Amino acid sequence: MPENRPTDLGEIASDDIYAKLRNDLDFWEPWVRRALDSLGLAAPGTLRIPGESTNPVVLTDTGLAVKLYGEHWCGPENHAAELEAYEVLQGHGLPIPRLVARGELRPGRPDRSGACAWPWPFLVMETASGITWRQAMPTLDRPRQLSLARRVGALVRQVHEVPLTGSAALRPDADVFADLLRERREATLEDHQEWGYLSPRLLADVPDFLPDVDALLAGRKPVLVHGDLHGTNLFVDPAAERVTGLIDFTDVYAGDPRYSLVQLHLNAFRADKGLLAAALEGAGWEVSPGFAEEMLRFTFLHDFDVLEEVPADLTGVEDVGELARLLWGV
């Protein structure tokens, strides 16, 4: 173990330190065991990290997942978002792992100055059944892939139909989503220049291509949007051809339903337009004549690097209309 490696939660004093530790099982195992013990839950035999995640997530061999929230990398906001999402989503028949308990590793503990230090809240949830969408797809023939995509589309519609009864981001009149799009509108050009997936010629047209956010959202009733439907946040049972799990509610909003399709199509589906068409069919989604360009606008306004999993080389595309058709034309 490196000499300077932190051993205590209080030593996570910067984004850089947090980034190096967030998926480090050796660091988190004793804290997860302490969290479970504090709630009187059974001690697990083995623990594992399921994969890369923004907030530390550890799975136990007792069928539970423990998610911890630090004060870095938007941890406080993520914790609040997940708690609100669980309150709003429960009781609607969605395949969401049950929230078992919540707690704090350091409730009310003062720091060296005497002020209350970050309490390190955590949630304990049941693990999702089935396997991830990303694991399932390579094992399936085309008809079963399309069948599952239709089921995912039906789930997306079901999420959109959940009443917005939250107290913050999931209130019908919440400004969180529109504010996010405004921030992304200002930052997207610079971000895409850095990411390098698109040609400078195409990016030069992006500012004029993106409308005012109020105009983009005008006339649209907000719905509950899961903004991070990537390939490891969806779980399926391939044999039964059904969706068995939906997880990670740190990016949920009262917002525009089109936003929820971006990660689903470009990450989970890896821009496979046949899967997209099947999901839209399952959702009963009416595809307008301007659908492709509408979706490209939300692609540019999305909060993540959403082109990372697109298998096509897009650097030769120099027209936004051509890019819209290439990615979203169904």
pLDDT of residue 291: 98
Q: Would you give the distance in Å from CA 139 to the centre of its chain?
A: 24
Confidence of residue 232 (pLDDT cuts 50, 70, 90): very high
Cα(88)–Cα(162) distance, rounded to whole angstroms? 8
DSSP for 288-322, please give it.
Answer: -TTHHHHHHHHHHH-SS-TTTT--S--TT---HHH
Phi, psi at 117, each rounded to 5°: -80, 170
| Per-residue pLDDT reduced to its tens digit, 241-294 | 999 999 999 999 999 999 999 999 999 999 999 999 999 999 999 999 999 999
Mean pLDDT over the full length of the chain: 95
Task: Quote the tokens at residue 30.
Answer: 């004793």
At the topology level, CATH places domain 9-126 in: Phosphorylase Kinase; domain 1 (3.30.200)
State the catalytic residues.
228
| Per-residue pLDDT reduced to its tens digit, 156-205 | 999 999 999 999 999 999 999 999 999 999 999 999 999 999 999 999 99
| Per-residue pLDDT reduced to its tens digit, 120-151 | 999 999 999 999 999 999 999 999 999 999 99
pLDDT of residue 7: 85
Location of structure tokens 């423990």: 66
Location of structure tokens 């492709």: 292
Confidence of residue 5 (pLDDT cuts 50, 70, 90): confident
Phi, psi at 155, each rounded to 5°: -65, -40
Average pLDDT over residues 39-58: 95
If one counts every other C-beta atom within 10 angstroms of the C-beta of residue 258, the result is: 19
pLDDT at 6 over 90: no
Q: Would you give the distance in Å from CA 51 to the centre of its chain?
A: 14
**Check: CATH 3.40.50.1820 for 131-328?**
no
Among candidate residues 223, 226, 291, the one with its CA nearest the CA of residue 263: 226
pLDDT at 1 over 50: no
Confidence of residue 23 (pLDDT cuts 50, 70, 90): very high
Average pLDDT over residues 98-113: 84
| pTM of the model as a whole | 0.94
Confidence of residue 30 (pLDDT cuts 50, 70, 90): very high
pLDDT at 49 over 70: yes
Percent of the chain with pLDDT over 90: 92
Domain assignments of the chain as residue spans, ordered by start: 9-126, 131-328
Length of the chain: 330
pLDDT of residue 61: 97
Cα(204)–Cα(4) distance, rounded to whole angstroms? 45
pLDDT at 100 over 80: yes
- Radius of gyration of the chain measured on its C-alpha atoms: 21
Location of structure tokens 């069928």: 63
Location of structure tokens 């058709």: 325
Cα(83)–Cα(13) distance, rounded to whole angstroms? 25
